[in-house]
A and B are shown apart, each in its own frame.
Chain A
Amino acid sequence: MKAGARVLLLPAAALMAIFFGAFLVFAAVGMLSCAPGTPGYSAPLTLGNYLRFFSDPAGLRILGWTVVFSLSLTAATIVAGYPFAYLIARTRWAWVRNLLLGVLLVTFLCGSISRAYGWLILLGRRGLVNEALMWTGLIDHPLALIYNVSGVFIALLHFTLPYFVLTVFGAIRAVPSQVEESARDLGASALRVFFQITVPLTLPAIVGGATLAFSLAISAFAFPLLLGGGRVRLISNYIYDQLFVAFDLPFAAAVSSLFLLVALVILWGFFAVERWATRAVYRRAG
């Protein structure tokens, strides 16, 4: 490596040293144990905390459930987000495109606590959604939409959607609309063009956006904290409780290390699918 590049990479190296240094300390702290009655922790080093998590069915269930929840949320994001991105990319009117992009960007910028709070108001027992449903006569009693999974799911979908749409939209724009039009001229139906031309050509971006949505979903913390009301706990909330309810930093560190491992393995799977999809597009293009 040239000396010039080495000097330029110094600041990044320093930041990475802090980041990965923290993880080294933290994996080691996971092997310590809590000193009873004090805020500190003490040796000897053991794998006890790691083993304790594996023998705790509640903890394992939360971890497994977090993964299932995040995968379903990713699927919902794709189903709602892809047609929306398609609409933005293919609309004939520039003002519609700018309006939709602007709304996405505002949602994206205005912060997670604000949005979680917005959903808390909308979905509450006396919230707008329940009032509207009662007024139409569809229901007699308010539905329980918050402090359970559905509220967390709806609010998180609202959170992941802009990230996904903004990732996929560029890829759809990059597919020349003439390609779709010529397929139509050759007699293919609109649906067939959509599923056999547009979707396969933008598959790498779909997987990329899905990876983003999944990593946001699996890291979700504030949304279940506010909208779950203590009843919906994802792994992040479990770790937080170990720290601030049980004051057990070593155990929290051990659980976090295992969680990180699971998250990275799944994300690696997503990246592998993305690489495969990119190669498939090049093969089609010949």
Chain B
Amino acid sequence: MRHYLGKALWLLFGVAILSFLLLPVVFTAVYSVGESRYFQFPPQAWSLQWYMAFFRAQKFYDALINSAILALVVTPLCLLAALPTAHALARYRFPGQRWIDALVLSPLIVPGVITGVALLSLFRILHQDIGLVRMSVAMIVVCFPYGLRALAANYQGVDPATEEAARDLGYGPLRTWWAITLPQLRTGLLAGAVFVFVEVIDNFSVNVFLVDLHSNTLPIAAYQHIRDVDDPLVAVMSTLLSILSVLLVLGFSRMMGLERMFKSR
């Protein structure tokens, strides 16, 4: 009897947390496909008109392009910087290594607003006022730790013996890395790319200080829209982002299994 009571309580708790997690996502999606301008539940009529309005709205279109440029510039550069760093930290022993470890991860724990104000002070002194340039530099610095952590976790699974064998067979260090190490880093690269990409698309607190009048990103455009207008355009944006993340998750679980993905966080 007590056994069943425990089971029922666990079930209830699981369902409660699950609905807590899903509720905002689901109802935003419902709102986006309703016909009404204001939130109704259940919606009286279904329509895709707000999706058409979203893609016709110049400000969201521009923001989408800016966010895409930012993500496509920052993601590869972050991983290119993280690859040699992860290699040095995994394959060399040097004094002060623990400090370097902590140092390179520090952008993760500094509150975004502070990083934003600090970078703004720097760019003012350098007279750099192009929003996209400022945000690209900022995002590379801020997202670098995400790429690095994913790769560092992956390095723990790369057996140095495979590299030594290649060296014994006469491969140089670069060729060994290219032919032996890099292929084994696929999971880390993929996971790192996703985490960097998502952070760049989502970042608000740093970019809001660095943006200029012509380079709004999606989150900033969404914030301004929520502040000024009451219609479901932002619900459309959120739903599109959720669909993108569902696709990413499905892709991941097919490619490497979800549990492995979390090990690289």
Distance of A118 Cα from B242 Cα, bound (Å): 12
Pair A222/B205 contact, Cβ less than 8 Å? yes
If A8-B84, A21-B122 touch, whether A221 touches B106 (CB-CB below 8 Å) is no
If A11-B81, A84-B17, A117-B235 touch, whether A256 touches B117 (CB-CB below 8 Å) is yes
Interface size on B, residues (CB 8 A): 86
By beta carbon, the residue of chain B nearest A211 is B109
Pair A113/B104 contact, Cβ less than 8 Å? no
> Which residues of chain B are near A51, meaning CB under 8 Å?
none
Contact of A12 among B13, B85, B201, B253 (CB under 8 A): B85
> Which residues of chain A are near B92, meaning CB under 8 Å?
1-2, 4-5, 8
A59 an interface residue at 8 Å Cβ cutoff?
Answer: no
Pair A118/B23 contact, Cβ less than 8 Å? yes
B262 an interface residue at 8 Å Cβ cutoff?
Answer: yes
Pair A105/B39 contact, Cβ less than 8 Å? no
Distance of A29 Cα from B126 Cα, bound (Å): 13
Pair A121/B242 contact, Cβ less than 8 Å? no
By beta carbon, the residue of chain A nearest B3 is A190
Pair B13/A87 contact, Cβ less than 8 Å? yes
B57 an interface residue at 8 Å Cβ cutoff?
Answer: no
Pair B238/A158 contact, Cβ less than 8 Å? no
**Shortest distance in angstroms between A84's beta carbon and chain B's nearest beta carbon?**
5
B248 an interface residue at 8 Å Cβ cutoff?
Answer: yes
Distance of A21 Cα from B104 Cα, bound (Å): 14
B245 an interface residue at 8 Å Cβ cutoff?
Answer: yes
> Which residues of chain A are near B218, meaning CB under 8 Å?
113
Pair A114/B237 contact, Cβ less than 8 Å? yes
Pair B248/A98 contact, Cβ less than 8 Å? no
Contacts across chains A and B counted by CB atoms under 8 Å: 240
Which residue, of A112, A169, A260, has the highest number of chain B Cβ atoms within 10 A? A260
- Pick the interface stretch among A175-183, A236-244, A278-286: A236-244
Q: How large is the interface on A (under 10, 10 to 19, 20 to 34, 35 or more residues)?
A: 35 or more
> Which residues of chain B are near A26, meaning CB under 8 Å?
117-118, 121-122
Contact of B27 among A10, A110, A128 (CB under 8 A): A128
Q: Beta-carbon contacts of A223-234 to B below 8 Å, as 1s and 0s?
A: 001100000000
B204 an interface residue at 8 Å Cβ cutoff?
Answer: yes
Distance of A4 Cα from B88 Cα, bound (Å): 8
Contact of A25 among B18, B118, B249 (CB under 8 A): B118
Among A262-277, those with CB < 8 Å from B are 263-264, 267
Contact of A114 among B100, B148, B241, B246 (CB under 8 A): B241
Q: Top 6 A-B pairs ranked by shortest CB distance?
A: A118-B24, A114-B238, A219-B111, A109-B245, A8-B88, A11-B81
Interface residues of B, Cβ cutoff 8 Å to A:
6, 10, 13-14, 17-18, 20-25, 27-28, 31, 38-39, 41, 80-81, 84-85, 87-88, 92, 94-95, 100, 103-104, 106-115, 117-122, 124-125, 137, 140-141, 144, 148, 173, 194, 198, 201-202, 204-205, 208-209, 218-219, 222-223, 226, 234-235, 237-238, 241-242, 244-246, 248-249, 252-253, 258-259, 261-263, 265
Query: What are 12 inter-chain pairs, A to B, with CB distance below 8 A?
Result: A1-B94, A2-B94, A19-B107, A25-B122, A110-B241, A111-B238, A112-B202, A121-B27, A170-B263, A219-B113, A221-B111, A260-B114
